[in-house]
Structure 1
Amino acid sequence: MNTQLVGRRTELAALTGAVEAAADGRGGVLVISGQAGIGKTRLGEHAVDEARRRGFTTLIGQADPLQTGLAYGPIVAALRRHLDTLPETELATELDGLPDLGRLIPHPLLPTPSPASDPELERTRMFEAVRRLMERLTAKAPTMLLVDDLHWADRGTVELLHYLGRDTVDRRLLVIGAHRTAAPGSALADLAVSVRRQPTGRELALDVLSDDEVAEMLGNLLDAPPSPELLSDVTARSHGVPLFISALAPRGSRTQWHIVRDVVLDRLHELDEPARTLLELIAVAGDDGSLSMLHKAWQHEASLDTTLRRLRDHMLIAEHVTGSAVRYRVAHPLYAEVAYAELSANERARLHAAVAGAMPDDVLTVAPHYLRAGDHVPTRQAVEVLAAAGRRALHAFATTEAVEYLTVALDRAAPDQRLELLHDLGLAQQQAGRPTQAATAWSEGLVAAGRADDQQWRPRFLMLLAALEAERGDFSLADTHAEHGMLLAADQSDYVGLLRWALAQRHRDLAHIRSLSEQLAAVCGRDPADAPQSVARQSRGYLAVLHGDFALARRELEAAHEHAMRCGADAPELDYGARRILSGVCVLTGDVPAALHHAAAATESQFPAARGSMRFALAMVRYFAGDPLGALTEIEGGIADARAEELHRLIARQLTFAAFLLAELGRLDEAEQRLGESLRELDEPEFAFDEASELAATAIALHRGRPQDAPPLRDIAAFEDPLLGCARVLFAAQAAQAVGDGDTAAQLTGLMRLIGHSAPLVDACADRLAGFAGAADKFAAMGAPLLAAQARLEDAERNPTADAIADCLVVFERAGTKPWLERARRLARTHGLGALTRREAEIVRLVGEGLTNAAIAARLFLSERTVETHLRNGYKRLGITSRAALVEWVRNQVT
């Protein structure tokens, strides 16, 4: 039968045009959508043929209804088929420098991925590795990536396709996705919206064929015009769907419309037993129906080649040739679905086992079959394959898939396999945001390890449970787990000790912190290896923080960081711990750029609470660096992550700092709302929360003009948290000065002077409180422009100068700190336009009257260039960045 496309002239022209544009370096992304059987796959095949004719590299992937749980399966298949055709030297060149690709495609030339410390970051790196691989392919030849049947793909596949599609401009890359009409709000619907918004994107939404087109298609299929009776019957029953037209074409006697299952079953029931059996095997194999696999798995007396030919002639299967490899798939997914659904559960399991046993030992392809094969495959082998698939999914951040594979593996595992599976299942549950299920898995592992007297796994489970209980707020139980873990794991005492130390910090049990710090410094300091040395130097560094010696603290923490870096990926938590404290110490010692570097680099951790704590630290550093808007973005992201993980203490603490930042930005109602939310989020007191809450409440009181409402500081003994301690003491002293409480202000200034001996930024804060004119320059030299502008404005209020006011206006407007900006503008208004030169003031007034530069030039007998120069200078002096803002400023002056 002739199966040429009918009724798709517009779509064919669009596809051909997209291929031509990509060949010329103007890539794009297309989405083909429509109901089942409408012809999406045929259009995709046409695009592939057109691309190959023009010398494209074509990467073809197809999702499968039987493998919907396989993360990124269609894209993995598309990339692997291409990579498998490359010579070894060329393949090595293509994969060079792309280690993160190993999370997606296991390959001997790619490193084995380590456990993800920050799933979102590692996932982005994996996406970026795929993008760079595509970039290399397009440098050699125009490239097409087609993924068919996206409605059966996992969400990660859709998101990765979207990620690649955004990078097609000015590249020889054409990305095409085909899927059934998407439900509103689904990932596919979002993809279609995004594609339509892209300049190079287009959605081809296929409609049914008209009656005339049905007649044309029937004529092509029959090689003769259809009879009126047949045409009427097929038109009525097919509703213009090409698949159903094809299915109904050989018949003409039926008079009523049946659902697609009946149509497909009619076709399947015409097959003899060998053909039906082979079709069922190919349906179960999905995308894995290679000729070699079928030869091994099909146990029948009939000739495989003859039966394949019969199915192909009936257009029930499609043959795909890639290089020397031949693969078979059921011609349309609906046929595969119906054939699979008609099998009994035992028949399906038996066929999945046959496919698994006939395939190469490759987790990506065999795992879905082992998952469904039940008792028809060897138990131990099945556990090993499913466990490997679960770990692979864990590395690829497909947590739902990881939990499914690991749970099934655990149900069938032997005792000697269970401990590692419980460990991995807990990690998967934790990554999925289910701490209770993670605790259940690890607690079971701890009990099993105890029964087996396994001294390797017991401390490991104790450490995991300690960290988890700390995140859930049970610090006492967490510390108990950590203490027991330390007793059991002599070779891991540095890690367990560090965990106990972190827990003590959360309690703010200073005696316990000092005791543990001294113990770790002594015990770990005797071991010359990098890991214990890092712990020892961290301990000494924090002891120096407690003693107020920030210069010593920085030296010790920098040494701890260097030791941790030499441990590489084996000890990510060590470097996280060192940098977390070091970032704050760098700020106080006057090196804000270094603080930003350390804080931004330390956001990776396997524990959600640790990641959130580091985002909190990074937000504080961004504030001191003069970027409160960036700090707010960071902290809001941290709040969202903490909500997803149900980490209520972290949520509460971050809400308080968000309230502080909102107050500094002048959004006082929002600030008070956030502070109220934080109080409702926390069910029991916590020192870190109390500090941040005091800071936020004081900032709100100051910016409301009600400093008397600022809460008193509950404890001002030391800066255990360097940045939070510095900020809260500074703001508390300002509130005390504002209400005329000289004793409190002097006490807090004296504390800052004491700490300032080794912390230049704190000393500059004391200078600012004392009214010393040099504080602003000190802040500026340290990389703290916002603090510098605040100090400069306070100086200008005592001794106003136009340049100082202008500089402050620029900084405050850029930072978005509305209260400080308004305060600077009030000072400028107090001096009228004296902050401007006479000519600048004259030009600014005319701008406020609505005159253009040309009109101003004509009135003042100046060139337009001169007017523009004076206007730019006026912008700078007034801290204004747009003409509209300048007009508003002038109107305010008049008012």
Structure 2
Amino acid sequence: MLGSVETRSVSPVFVGRAGELTALTEALSRATAGEPQALLIGGEAGVGKTRLIEEFTGTARDRGAVVALGGCVELGADGLPFAPFSTALRALRRRLPDELTAAADGQHGELARLLPELGDPGGHDPADEDSTARLFELTVRLLERLAADRTIVLVLEDLHWADTSTRHLLTYLLRTLRRGRIVVVASYRADDIHRRHPLRPLLAELDRLRTIRRIELPRFTRTEVHRQLTGILAAEPDPGLVEEVFERSDGNAFFVEELVVSHEAGCAPGQLSDSLRDLLLVRVEALPEDAQRIVRIAAEGGSTVEYGLLAAVARLTEDELIEALRAAVGANILLAVPDGDGYRFRHSLVREAVSDDLLPGERSRLNRRYAEALQADPALVRADERATRLATYWYHAHDPAEALPAVLRASVATRKRHAHAEQLRLLERAMELWDEAPAEVRA
């Protein structure tokens, strides 16, 4: 059963990305004509970078190009040096054994530092700057020779995990590649590139090179999510399912797939599968303790939580709060609202996972603290949101005595704004609370 669910979770239909795929195929055409091309593809985790690259490399193979893929290893600067280049060159050696041997003629020993299959690296000192510069030069010349008579697509994935040596070699390649029928495509996770990430200065440097095109993948629109669901289910999806999946996934293609898995596995509406919840919480659990605490508090505050309200509920010193927020923002879990003084989750599904991970007593306690802070200082939130948010906090605090009058006041406020659907929802909550509320509150 799990096998069939996994198969259905990936759409056989390539959705959206028409402009991005066109840019890649046009670059392939220019490279085939003898003009080397370089493209950087960025986007958050799960947005569809790999699927776009797979679609492009399939087209490239159909046109007779030789595709070599290499990926960075998640070990950072202490990991495997030149890992994506070594993997890609190994793929080229399998596809073009004689041609690569001929192109490397006379430099096997030095190039063996990237591709050990070529022989013994010999006595070259890896710390020797001249030796490293020569290795870079030989690598570029090797690729140019291989691409003289055929089109080569060199794909380097996950640059956010690249070691220093890989970044230096990539920079050298993109700056000095001048001839050959070659396309270099590199991808990275934009949400992993925090302010001090070592890839950030490289991206800024490459942005200044007019020979490099940078492609940023946005999330899917509602229409594209509908098309993705149609492909996954092999049938027209229910409009309610489309709306729910789009709202919860925020248009992230991977999350759409995982939410379909949850739906197919029988999870109740609003629930996440265990695998998706665990995946979403990995980055949160890597934060310092105070930052994790702030993330948990923010998850119960609403889609956006004002700084003052967050400070009142967190009860940390100002310095501790700022440091915790800086860690959460630096990890791309929270975002500072550009036109206000609040914070929101980068992705609503992460907020949902954090909220679901709270203990029952913990969740009600946090909502009580939000309600008490807002009652003590109503100016902490905008006036047009105050009644509804107070009602929501008291409702989730499981305090019928406070929640019932707050919900009724909020229903009056929404009626004045002609928000009848929201008023109906609040009145339904009032009916739910009615029997549990004390008699003096119902009077």
1:55 maps to 2:55: no
Residue from 215, 218, 229 that aligns with 1:207: 218
Counterpart residue number, 1:76: 86
TM normalised by structure 1 equals 0.28
Over residues 245-281 of structure 1, what are the superposed CA-to-partner deviations in whole Å (9 max), with x where a residue is unaligned?
1111244454437599534679xxxxxxxxxxxxxxx
1:187 maps to 2:201: no
TM normalised by structure 2 equals 0.55
Where in structure 2 are the equivalents of 1:227-306 lying within 5 Å?
Answer: 227-252=238-263, 253-256=267-270, 262-263=276-277
Q: Assess, with a 3 A threshold, how the Cα gap between structure 1 residues 257 and 14 changes in structure 2: closer, same or farther.
A: farther
Pairwise CA distance, 1:235: 1.3
Distance 1:56 1:73 in 2: 23
The one-letter amino acid paired with 2:231 is N
Secondary structure in structure 1 of the residue aligned to 2:61: helix
The one-letter amino acid paired with 2:14 is L
The one-letter amino acid paired with 1:196 is D
Counterpart residue number, 1:15: 24
1:65 maps to 2:65: no
Counterpart residue number, 1:94: 103
Where in structure 2 are the equivalents of 1:588-599 lying within 5 Å?
Answer: none
Q: Assess, with a 3 A threshold, how the Cα gap between structure 1 residues 113 and 104 changes in structure 2: closer, same or farther.
A: farther
Q: In 1, are the aligned partners of 2:258 and 2:276 still within 8 Å (CA)?
A: no
User: Which has the greater radius of gyration?
Assistant: 1
Distance 1:249 1:235 in 2: 11
Residue from 176, 201, 205 that aligns with 2:185: 176
The one-letter amino acid paired with 1:19 is L
Where in structure 2 are the equivalents of 1:578-727 lying within 5 Å?
Answer: none
Q: Assess, with a 3 A threshold, how the Cα gap between structure 1 residues 209 and 257 changes in structure 2: closer, same or farther.
A: farther
The one-letter amino acid paired with 1:105 is L
Pairwise CA distance, 1:39: 0.5
Counterpart residue number, 2:233: 222
Distance 1:257 1:114 in 2: 59
Residue identity over aligned pairs, in percent, reads 35
Pairwise CA distance, 1:90: 4.0
Over residues 412-432 of structure 1, what are the superposed CA-to-partner deviations in whole Å (9 max), with x where a residue is unaligned?
xxxxxxxxxxxxxxxxxxxxx
Distance 1:186 1:77 in 2: 24
Pairwise CA distance, 1:229: 2.4
Over residues 726-777 of structure 1, what are the superposed CA-to-partner deviations in whole Å (9 max), with x where a residue is unaligned?
xxxxxxxxxxxxxxxxxxxxxxxxxxxxxxxxxxxxxxxxxxxxxxxxxxxx
Q: Which has the higher strand share?
A: 2
The one-letter amino acid paired with 2:61 is R
Over residues 355-385 of structure 1, what are the superposed CA-to-partner deviations in whole Å (9 max), with x where a residue is unaligned?
xxxxxxxxxxxxxxxxxxxxxxxxxxxxxxx
Distance 1:257 1:75 in 2: 42
The one-letter amino acid paired with 1:72 is F
Secondary structure in structure 2 of the residue aligned to 1:176: strand
Distance 1:115 1:12 in 2: 42
Distance 2:112 2:180 in 1: 25
Pairwise CA distance, 1:21: 0.9
Counterpart residue number, 2:140: 131
Q: Assess, with a 3 A threshold, how the Cα gap between structure 1 residues 125 and 230 changes in structure 2: closer, same or farther.
A: same
Runs of 5+ unmatched residues, structure 1 = 267-895
The one-letter amino acid paired with 1:95 is A
Q: Which has the higher helix share?
A: 1
Pairwise CA distance, 1:44: 1.2
Q: Assess, with a 3 A threshold, how the Cα gap between structure 1 residues 151 and 118 changes in structure 2: closer, same or farther.
A: closer
Over residues 560-583 of structure 1, what are the superposed CA-to-partner deviations in whole Å (9 max), with x where a residue is unaligned?
xxxxxxxxxxxxxxxxxxxxxxxx
Q: Assess, with a 3 A threshold, how the Cα gap between structure 1 residues 250 and 142 changes in structure 2: closer, same or farther.
A: same
Distance 1:117 1:263 in 2: 43
Q: Assess, with a 3 A threshold, how the Cα gap between structure 1 residues 117 and 241 changes in structure 2: closer, same or farther.
A: closer
Count of paired positions:
264
Distance 2:241 2:161 in 1: 34
Secondary structure in structure 1 of the residue aligned to 2:154: strand
Secondary structure in structure 2 of the residue aligned to 1:212: helix
Q: In 1, are the aligned partners of 2:73 and 2:79 still within 8 Å (CA)?
A: no
Residue from 34, 41, 49 that aligns with 1:25: 34
Q: Assess, with a 3 A threshold, how the Cα gap between structure 1 residues 245 and 53 changes in structure 2: closer, same or farther.
A: same
Q: In 2, are the aligned partners of 1:236 and 1:257 still within 8 Å (CA)?
A: no
CA RMSD in angstroms comes to 2.6
1:120 maps to 2:129: yes
Q: Assess, with a 3 A threshold, how the Cα gap between structure 1 residues 5 and 24 changes in structure 2: closer, same or farther.
A: same
Distance 2:131 2:273 in 1: 45
Q: In 2, are the aligned partners of 1:247 and 1:264 still within 8 Å (CA)?
A: no
Distance 1:192 1:257 in 2: 38
Q: In 2, are the aligned partners of 1:138 and 1:172 still within 8 Å (CA)?
A: yes
Q: Assess, with a 3 A threshold, how the Cα gap between structure 1 residues 177 and 233 changes in structure 2: closer, same or farther.
A: same
